Chain A
Amino acid sequence: MITRRLRMYLRTYKTIIIVVCIVIILLILSVIGLMSLESFYRKMTIATMPVQFIMAGIHAGIFVFMYLTFMRGGFAKLDKAPIKGKDVSIRWDDVIGMYDAKQEAWEVVQLIKDRATVTKMGGSVVKGLLLLGPPGCGKTYIAKAVATEANMPFISMSGSEFVEVFVGVGASRVRKLFKKARDLAFGFGGCILFIDEIDAIGRSRSFSFMGGQETNSTLNQLLAEMDGLKGKDDNIVVIGATNAQETHLDQALLRPGRFDRKIMVTLPSQDDREELFKFYLDKVKAEEGMDLGRLARRAVRKTPADIANIVKEAALIATRNKKKAIGLKEISEAFERVDLGIKHRMTVTPREKEMTAYHESGHLIINYLKAPSKTVFKASIIPRRGTLGVVWAPEREELHSKSKEQLLEDIMMDLGGYVAEKIRYGTTTTGVASDFSKAMNIAHAMVWQLGMGESGLVGDYTVIPKEQLSEKVRQTMNSDTGVLLKTSLEAVEETLTEKRKILDRFASELLKREELEYDEIIAIFDEYGFKEAVDDNSEPKDKSWDHDA
């Protein structure tokens, strides 16, 4: 092993060793040369040496400046220091949730570790692992955990580090990266290459004369290097990570033999979020007995990075409020800060404020009574991010598709503000613009794309150019869209007129307190005998297919 390590060092630092040897030889020759000079000339040469050193330093400085300024640190320079697996220090247990992803990755770790057995059995060794999923879900974390568990050198690079304006530079960097990985694999028995944001070089190649050759050549080199591993006995595993859709990546990159395994690292589930809150809250001082399930419900569609950020923000808020431990209030404020932005003390006229209070109350009541898939966590009339007020109602749980009824609920929710203003004042404000835009978009999509109009026209009509659609079809579509909006509007008007007292109450509470939290909202509805509409989607509505039932 020592001989192998020595050979590895010789291979890795070949250039440096040669340069050092040359320098030493030149120095020895210089001494011999100087010694052969007569003493006067020798003295003169030595006397001018300091000046020569200074001049050499100045020249070197100018050269380095030019090099760094104009060549961006060298065309194909690759200064990536490998990290030893054990130094990454992210254990498998530190990866919370993501059980499927972990399971797949664990298999890969086992394969890397037990390469000899796999090869003996004639099995093919995994060459690449592609981690796909939205940002902040822990792709890098999984890669680091793989490196720690496999206990191998780990080289991490970002896809964008290969991208240069000069053609051939990216390809050269890929070559150097793999050469380094091969050297390390030779010395340490294996190496993990992690390329983050691989879509920067791995997106589908374009074969035009209008540019893109640099990205193409970088990708070609990556493909060649990954394929090239087959013929050699190097235990190199490439882990790629990307936020992009799999379809955006080049097909050649995804085929078996390159990235053999594809692991989807998705948003955490309710249980995962609960675990994540527990994990991050354990790292800070938090009050005992917090309802983590409720926090997890509130954090629908939040990534692990978001949850870490929320806890971090909550800690900052608690410090600012001179509290000894983080409580629900701080976490709620942190949620708000992350999701809604910082409060904005804008000067608002009393009339404007009152109208905003009614507008938001309209949204709130419709949301509470008509949208069972959402939970109203907060209503506020404090301006934020350019809006005068907000009702914050995230989805109860991840919904991957929506029914017609749910879409109608969304429309009704958007129209709630408008109707409330109209009922109370007989007039409306510009505050409805974004609500209408959202409602119209949903209604339009329902009719034009999803076949949910009352006329019964089915199909995605947006794929057909408008000029190819008959006037009649267009009229029908537009009429259907109008009907959807009108029906929804009537339903909202009916509800709010009927619940006028509650509307007035919420508006007055909002004017009084400016913000209403979940508990306060529930309490007020309770006063009027209304329970929150709940639809947990846990069971199918029609069970006729279940013959056992």
Chain B
Amino acid sequence: MRRNSMKNVFAVVAAVALITVTLLALSSCVPSYPREKLPEAVKSICKIEYDMDVETTVEGSTMGIYYPMKGLLDLGLGISEEAWDKISNLLLIASRVVLSTDADIRFYCVVAQDPRLPELQMVIIKYVDDIKRGMVRNISRGESFKRTLFSLNLTPQAEKERSIESVFDKLGVNEETKQKVVDEFFRSPPTKLSDIGYWKGSFYIKDITMEEFIAAQIANRVKVGFRDDEKLKKQFDYKEAEGFVSSSNGGNTFVIQFKIADQQEPGEAVDLNAEKVQALVSIVNEVVRGYKFRNFDFLMLEDQLEKVSLKISGDDVYNFDEGKMAVEDIAQAPAGYFVK
């Protein structure tokens, strides 16, 4: 009697469990933020949960969020603590939405401006796979941070328009004509990652490609590496670096342009050029390996100060960390680059 009852009990529990699992499995198929309602979803969450008014747009597989925030910059033109909190919330919302949608969103880009000073903007670009990997601890928190592109720069469109306007001012062109010409000839969708921004009610956003993102990330990591690493900081004076992809010459080339000056003390016999190249190639290797990215043929390191460049094959860069080859072996630089 007891055994039969126990069997019945187990049968009931098993049936309920089965129904539950089936319901869950079916429910998991429905996205929380369908493709067609994606921009509205971000806007409504920002409004409801954090009382933030944002503008959103989707370009290809990139979602853009513009957030005008009073008090973004403090008096020293730095980002205020309150602003960081709000930006963090915005990033969290963006991550939640892009993870729970059926739209093919690979990147999202947050542009924040202080409405009182729209000529300055903060841009944050994140790769969606990095968010997932960070959540499941597939990459560390530090690595996740390194993979996020942060930049605080002049609004590119503002910069562009200002120079045009100064020319028109000198020519005495009236305001109406000036705006008409600017609209017609000088306001076009961005072609580079660095052109992304928001100006006068228009979102300048592009569909970010993986190559662009990686090139920009390399430049970002070069900046962080040469500024934060004690040894490199001592040996070199980092000024600037920029990364982009060039598809000319019959293949994809990561071009890293940099201005990094040597700080060698007189009498020291260390080959700083080799050290610099070693550091740069290591950074590129780390990035491409991190994404298992093989879709590039060359790496071009352009030293803007010395006016020399170094071209390395993609395979050599990818396999650089295996230590099979020395920097000298993989470099195809003009003679004399490594030795002054």
Binding site for B on A (CB under 8 A): 9, 13, 16, 20, 23-24, 27-28, 30-31, 34-35, 38-44, 46, 49, 81-82
Most buried by A among B2, B6, B13: B2
Contact A20 B13, beta carbon cutoff 8 Å? yes
> Measured between alpha carbons, how far is A105 from B146 in the docked complex, in Å?
90
Contact B20 A27, beta carbon cutoff 8 Å? yes
Known: A20-B12, A24-B16, A81-B3. A40 touches B27 (CB 8 A): no
Tell whether B326 is near chain A: CB-to-CB under 8 Å. no
> Of the candidates B17, B23, B30, which one forms a contact with A39 in the assembled complex, judged by CB atoms under 8 Å apart?
B30
22 A-B contacts, Cβ less than 8 Å apart? A13-B5, A16-B6, A20-B13, A24-B12, A24-B16, A27-B17, A27-B20, A30-B20, A34-B27, A35-B27, A38-B32, A38-B96, A38-B99, A38-B100, A42-B24, A42-B28, A46-B24, A49-B21, A49-B24, A81-B1, A81-B2, A82-B1
B-chain residues with CB within 8 Å of residue A31 when the two chains form the complex: 20, 23-24, 27
Q: Report the minimal beta-carbon distance from A54 to chain B, rounded to whole angstroms.
A: 15
Tell whether B9 is near chain A: CB-to-CB under 8 Å. yes
Tell whether B270 is near chain A: CB-to-CB under 8 Å. no
Contact B12 A41, beta carbon cutoff 8 Å? no
B-chain residues with CB within 8 Å of residue A46 when the two chains form the complex: 24-25, 28
Tell whether B31 is near chain A: CB-to-CB under 8 Å. yes
Q: Report the minimal beta-carbon distance from B95 to chain A, rounded to whole angstroms.
A: 9
Main secondary structure of the interface of A (DSSP, over half): helix
Contact B16 A42, beta carbon cutoff 8 Å? no
3 A-B pairs with the lowest CB-CB distances in the bound complex, closest first: A40-B99, A38-B100, A39-B100
Contact B20 A43, beta carbon cutoff 8 Å? no
Contact A42 B27, beta carbon cutoff 8 Å? yes
- Chain B stretch 243-274: residues in CB contact (< 8 A) with chain A: none
Q: How large, as a class, is the contact surface on chain B? A: 20 to 34
B-chain residues with CB within 8 Å of residue A82 when the two chains form the complex: 1-2
Contact B100 A40, beta carbon cutoff 8 Å? yes
B-chain residues with CB within 8 Å of residue A35 when the two chains form the complex: 27
> Measured between alpha carbons, how far is A237 from B28 in the docked complex, in Å?
59
B-chain residues with CB within 8 Å of residue A41 when the two chains form the complex: 99-100
In this complex, what residue of B is CB-closest to A9? B5
> Measured between alpha carbons, how far is A39 from B20 in the docked complex, in Å?
16
Contact B16 A27, beta carbon cutoff 8 Å? yes
In this complex, what residue of A is CB-closest to B3? A81
> Measured between alpha carbons, how far is A41 from B136 in the docked complex, in Å?
11
Known: A16-B6, A31-B23, A82-B1. A43 touches B28 (CB 8 A): yes
Interface flags for B32-43 (1: CB within 8 Å of A; 0: not) read: 110000000000
A-chain residues with CB within 8 Å of residue B12 when the two chains form the complex: 20, 24
A-chain residues with CB within 8 Å of residue B32 when the two chains form the complex: 38-40
> Measured between alpha carbons, how far is A44 from B136 in the docked complex, in Å?
9
Q: Report the minimal beta-carbon distance from A130 to chain B, rounded to whole angstroms.
A: 28
Q: Report the minimal beta-carbon distance from A105 to chain B, rounded to whole angstroms.
A: 26
- Chain B stretch 83-112: residues in CB contact (< 8 A) with chain A: 96, 99-100
> Measured between alpha carbons, how far is A31 from B26 in the docked complex, in Å?
11
Known: A27-B20, A39-B100, A81-B2. A16 touches B28 (CB 8 A): no
Most buried by B among A39, A41, A46, A82: A39
B-chain residues with CB within 8 Å of residue A38 when the two chains form the complex: 32-33, 96, 99-100
> Measured between alpha carbons, how far is A349 from B6 in the docked complex, in Å?
68
> Of the candidates B1, B13, B25, B30, which one forms a contact with A23 in the assembled complex, judged by CB atoms under 8 Å apart?
B13
> Measured between alpha carbons, how far is A27 from B17 in the docked complex, in Å?
7
Q: Report the minimal beta-carbon distance from A63 to chain B, rounded to whole angstroms.
A: 18
Contact A20 B20, beta carbon cutoff 8 Å? no
Contact A34 B24, beta carbon cutoff 8 Å? yes
> Measured between alpha carbons, how far is A20 from B25 in the docked complex, in Å?
23
In this complex, what residue of B is CB-closest to A30? B20
Contact B9 A39, beta carbon cutoff 8 Å? no
> Measured between alpha carbons, how far is A300 from B12 in the docked complex, in Å?
59
In this complex, what residue of B is CB-closest to A28? B20
Known: A27-B17, A81-B3. A39 touches B24 (CB 8 A): no
> Measured between alpha carbons, how far is A13 from B20 in the docked complex, in Å?
25
Q: Report the minimal beta-carbon distance from A331 to chain B, rounded to whole angstroms.
A: 42
> Measured between alpha carbons, how far is A27 from B23 in the docked complex, in Å?
11
Known: A81-B3, A82-B1. A39 touches B28 (CB 8 A): yes
Contact B100 A20, beta carbon cutoff 8 Å? no
Contact B31 A39, beta carbon cutoff 8 Å? yes
> Measured between alpha carbons, how far is A86 from B309 in the docked complex, in Å?
100
> Measured between alpha carbons, how far is A30 from B17 in the docked complex, in Å?
11
B-chain residues with CB within 8 Å of residue A40 when the two chains form the complex: 32, 96, 99-100
> Measured between alpha carbons, how far is A20 from B2 in the docked complex, in Å?
15
A-chain residues with CB within 8 Å of residue B24 when the two chains form the complex: 31, 34, 42, 46, 49
Contact B27 A16, beta carbon cutoff 8 Å? no
In this complex, what residue of A is CB-closest to B96? A38
Most buried by A among B1, B16, B21, B33: B1
A-chain residues with CB within 8 Å of residue B5 when the two chains form the complex: 9, 13, 16
Q: Report the minimal beta-carbon distance from B127 to chain A, rounded to whole angstroms.
A: 16
> Measured between alpha carbons, how far is A82 from B4 in the docked complex, in Å?
13
> Measured between alpha carbons, how far is A30 from B12 in the docked complex, in Å?
17
A-chain residues with CB within 8 Å of residue B28 when the two chains form the complex: 39, 42-43, 46
> Measured between alpha carbons, how far is A28 from B17 in the docked complex, in Å?
10
